[in-house]
Chains A and B, each alone.
Chain A
């Protein structure tokens, strides 16, 4: 089996797995468009890759599946459990075929019939209107003889209503040599003539190979007839030039024509100059390979204006073919060219934010997987290293082993230092600047603010701040939510801003910086701020807190209530923030990554949301605590201090307990109670670990404190995945398993 096919099978299986898990989640939550997108994308990618091979039933089936999902995405077809069954059946079929391919390099017997019936059933759901597009019938390796072809193209009468553009389709035919109209047999009378219907057809002469033409017309295959045509007896005039292959000549023409289309495409002003420069590059390179390129212009020199480039392109085309056969010479005359920015240097035109993006000198490109593997091994090494203190403790119990004990400790120190250095070296490799994520919001901000009629200036600082690649990637989603929220709810409309004496243009700041072992990203708007009264009222109404607790809460603490599920302004459903995508989603996303969210707001002056994430998610330092002879881990960055609090100083208020620490009232949560264990009677002092969770200081009553430990926390999987209250498990040096506590979740349940 070829390496390519092996890769296809491997990737196909991965994608199938993604598709089925997306489908299952979609079934649970049919409105989840992100799952639908994931499902679509996985199937789309399988289809794309399958096109590399000649597995027609395979490609046809996944193509039908892709179209069906596209129809679901567009809302044309409703997602139902029966539909899910059908899609699952398709995924199973594809999975079976992948097994066939892995076993024998070919689809199993009966694939043709299976594919036909399955794709027919899939298409039936779309509404049956669309015929399965005809796939190219030759695999990659097939060579096609070059000869001329005559294409009779008769567009459907109503083609305009389905968004077709027959003229463009015809004119963009590869290697087009001539066009003539096919008039209908009877021309409709003037009074019954409908200008919105297509009455004529086109006869196109092309020198492109059959396969290329079939591909070009693959979506209107029922409207074209492709006939072989003998190439003209007399070869094209040679202009005294090097002999160029017909194929090459056609491609050169197509490339030049593409540049003309690009030049005639002025929609995106900000990328106009570099686009023209790239077109100039293409023309210069093509010209350098042409036997008889016009030499009057220096294509490699200064940037040319659109007009000049277009003229050059036309000249190049002329030099390729006899004048009367120059394809699309007419189109060259139509290009609207009123650009003024074209002469500017493309580099200085780049937006400041992107130019400011950090550029590292790339020395070595390594597959991310290899680094992940190195990272995992380093993690394992750190865990293995943790076994040494246990050894030392054992040695302590042996008499006369002091020498051994001392040696173990020395070795441990050394090993500790080396693993720490190794870990930080590996982490350095994985560090990427957050600028790669921050930089992509320019467009989001622009589009959203324009849509809402708000003027917003996005300022990004600290792009050079580095964090682990995974952390940076995971940052994107929460940031998108926060930015959408800020634009949608935070900023006032310009007239309100003017009335409030603020500049009409709002400022949205994205600021990244490193603090200790965390990367901090702030999203700050200078909008209306959060209405604390409303947040409090809603928190009461939704039962997030009781009146008593709310009474005792500081304003800062009450503001964090906006992160609670079901609280953020769901009533104001807009197509921007979307239904029910509130701050709680952001908070849970960030917490899942081991981070924290803090909201600050000043009425009338704006809101700042601060996301703090660990620099790396691979190795975590956990503080160990003991409850009823069991060890549990809590992230060290949440730990504030450990205290022995005399029982007498603990005050009761209804069901809850608290104590005063340096003039601050701190709620006490007894972990024994959380775990449903009986309390310890008659204690004089209570061991309390003070932790900071989302800005709130809370005391955890534990049996004993233990030292911190570096571990890899793995999320609970399988049946245990549903267990709440635990962030994951970690392996200790002595082989025992440490449960890492999910503090936000535990506290949410036991504080109120």
Chain B
């Protein structure tokens, strides 16, 4: 796999709702990131192939492959094994944050992630620019 030199970090947004993806994309792009999207975990795994993804923003409740299963598969994959992942879900039960961590998630937000929540996270999780 050859890594193209890039200046903008790349985030992958995984959510089945187009509206939500669009909203997150705008927010993340405004913070200086590039974005790729996937509708569900399965598609995310496919799309991640060969990409250098710097951050995953993952919805929990999705058809085909939900966020937790995706994350476990991602951790076991070559492309996404160690990519930081923020789970974003409307499901705000107390145990959800735990499930995210058990599945290998690095952080947990309640949907919709507001700009004032997401912006500092994106800033702090910006990797050092590769040259």
With contacts A51-B112, A265-B102, A285-B126 taken as known, whether A278 is within 8 angstroms of B83 at the C-beta atoms is yes
| Stretch of A343-351, A660-668, A704-712 with 4 or more beta carbons under 8 angstroms from chain B | A343-351
A503 at the interface (CB under 8 A from B): no
Q: How far is the CB of B122 from chain A (nearest CB, A)?
A: 10
Most buried by A among B45, B63, B65, B125: B125
Q: In the bound complex, what is the Cα–Cα distance between A354 and B49 (angstroms)?
A: 11
Interface string of A129-166 (1 = CB under 8 A from B): 00001000000110110000000000000000001110
On whether the beta carbons of A281 and B83 are closer than 8 Å, the reply is yes
Q: How far is the CB of B104 from chain A (nearest CB, A)?
A: 4
B19 at the interface (CB under 8 A from A): yes
Q: In the bound complex, what is the Cα–Cα distance between A11 and B117 (angstroms)?
A: 25
Residue numbers in B under 8 Å from A346 (CB-CB)? 75, 81-82
A740 at the interface (CB under 8 A from B): no
Write the chain A residue with the least CB distance to B77.
A354
A432 at the interface (CB under 8 A from B): yes
Interface string of A418-431 (1 = CB under 8 A from B): 00000000000000
A355 at the interface (CB under 8 A from B): yes
A267 at the interface (CB under 8 A from B): yes
On whether the beta carbons of B106 and A259 are closer than 8 Å, the reply is yes
| Stretch of A211-219, A540-548, A681-689 with 4 or more beta carbons under 8 angstroms from chain B | A211-219
Most buried by A among B72, B90, B124: B124
On whether the beta carbons of A281 and B84 are closer than 8 Å, the reply is yes
With contacts A209-B116, A219-B92, A286-B125 taken as known, whether A359 is within 8 angstroms of B106 at the C-beta atoms is no
Residue numbers in B under 8 Å from A254 (CB-CB)? 107
On whether the beta carbons of A286 and B69 are closer than 8 Å, the reply is no
With contacts A289-B126, A354-B73, A440-B65 taken as known, whether A164 is within 8 angstroms of B101 at the C-beta atoms is no
Write the chain B residue with the least CB distance to A274.
B81
On whether the beta carbons of A163 and B94 are closer than 8 Å, the reply is yes
Most buried by A among B59, B63, B81, B90: B81
Contact pick for A255, options B1, B110, B124, CB 8 Å: B124
With contacts A49-B20, A282-B125, A362-B47 taken as known, whether A354 is within 8 angstroms of B75 at the C-beta atoms is no
Q: How far is the CB of A13 from chain B (nearest CB, A)?
A: 12
Residue numbers in A under 8 Å from B105 (CB-CB)? 262
Q: In the bound complex, what is the Cα–Cα distance between A664 and B129 (angstroms)?
A: 72
Residues 42-99 of B contacting A (Cβ, < 8 Å):
42, 45-47, 49-51, 59, 61, 63-65, 69, 72-73, 75-79, 81-85, 90, 92-95, 97-98
Interface string of A244-278 (1 = CB under 8 A from B): 01011011101100110110010110110011011
Q: In the bound complex, what is the Cα–Cα distance between A365 and B34 (angstroms)?
A: 13
Most buried by A among B45, B110, B114, B115: B114
Contact pick for B82, options A8, A48, A274, A443, CB 8 Å: A274
With contacts A49-B20, A51-B90 taken as known, whether A275 is within 8 angstroms of B75 at the C-beta atoms is yes
A52 at the interface (CB under 8 A from B): yes
On whether the beta carbons of B75 and A258 are closer than 8 Å, the reply is no
Interface string of A360-388 (1 = CB under 8 A from B): 11100100000000000000000000000
Residue numbers in B under 8 Å from A212 (CB-CB)? 117
Q: In the bound complex, what is the Cα–Cα distance between A432 and B84 (angstroms)?
A: 27
Residue numbers in A under 8 Å from B78 (CB-CB)? 347, 350, 354-355, 359
On whether the beta carbons of A48 and B90 are closer than 8 Å, the reply is yes
On whether the beta carbons of B42 and A436 are closer than 8 Å, the reply is yes
On whether the beta carbons of A271 and B90 are closer than 8 Å, the reply is no
A539 at the interface (CB under 8 A from B): no
Residue numbers in A under 8 Å from B81 (CB-CB)? 274, 277-278, 346-347, 350
Residue numbers in B under 8 Å from A143 (CB-CB)? 116
Residue numbers in B under 8 Å from A347 (CB-CB)? 78, 81
On whether the beta carbons of A275 and B104 are closer than 8 Å, the reply is yes
Contact pick for A163, options B65, B73, B95, B102, CB 8 Å: B95
Q: How far is the CB of B96 from chain A (nearest CB, A)?
A: 11
Residues 147-199 of A contacting B (Cβ, < 8 Å):
163-165, 168-169, 172
On whether the beta carbons of A443 and B69 are closer than 8 Å, the reply is yes
Write the chain B residue with the least CB distance to A268.
B102
On whether the beta carbons of A289 and B123 are closer than 8 Å, the reply is yes
Interface string of A689-722 (1 = CB under 8 A from B): 0000000000000000000000000000000000
Residue numbers in B under 8 Å from A211 (CB-CB)? 114, 116
On whether the beta carbons of B124 and A274 are closer than 8 Å, the reply is no
On whether the beta carbons of A359 and B73 are closer than 8 Å, the reply is no
On whether the beta carbons of A280 and B75 are closer than 8 Å, the reply is no
Starting from the known contacts A4-B26, A362-B51, 14 additional A-B residue pairs (CB-CB under 8 Å) come to: A12-B19, A48-B111, A211-B116, A215-B110, A219-B93, A248-B123, A261-B97, A268-B102, A278-B85, A350-B76, A355-B78, A357-B49, A365-B47, A436-B45
Q: Which 10 A-B pairs have the closest CB atoms?
A: A277-B82, A271-B75, A274-B81, A251-B120, A275-B104, A49-B19, A274-B75, A8-B19, A265-B101, A346-B81
Binding site for A on B (CB under 8 A): 1, 16-20, 22-23, 26, 36, 42, 45-47, 49-51, 59, 61, 63-65, 69, 72-73, 75-79, 81-85, 90, 92-95, 97-98, 101-108, 110-112, 114-117, 120-121, 123-128
Q: What are 29 pairs between A and B in contact, CB < 8 Å?
A: A7-B19, A7-B22, A8-B19, A11-B19, A45-B16, A45-B17, A48-B111, A52-B112, A133-B92, A143-B116, A163-B95, A165-B94, A172-B97, A215-B110, A248-B124, A255-B107, A261-B97, A274-B76, A275-B104, A278-B106, A281-B84, A285-B128, A351-B76, A354-B76, A359-B1, A362-B47, A365-B36, A437-B42, A440-B73
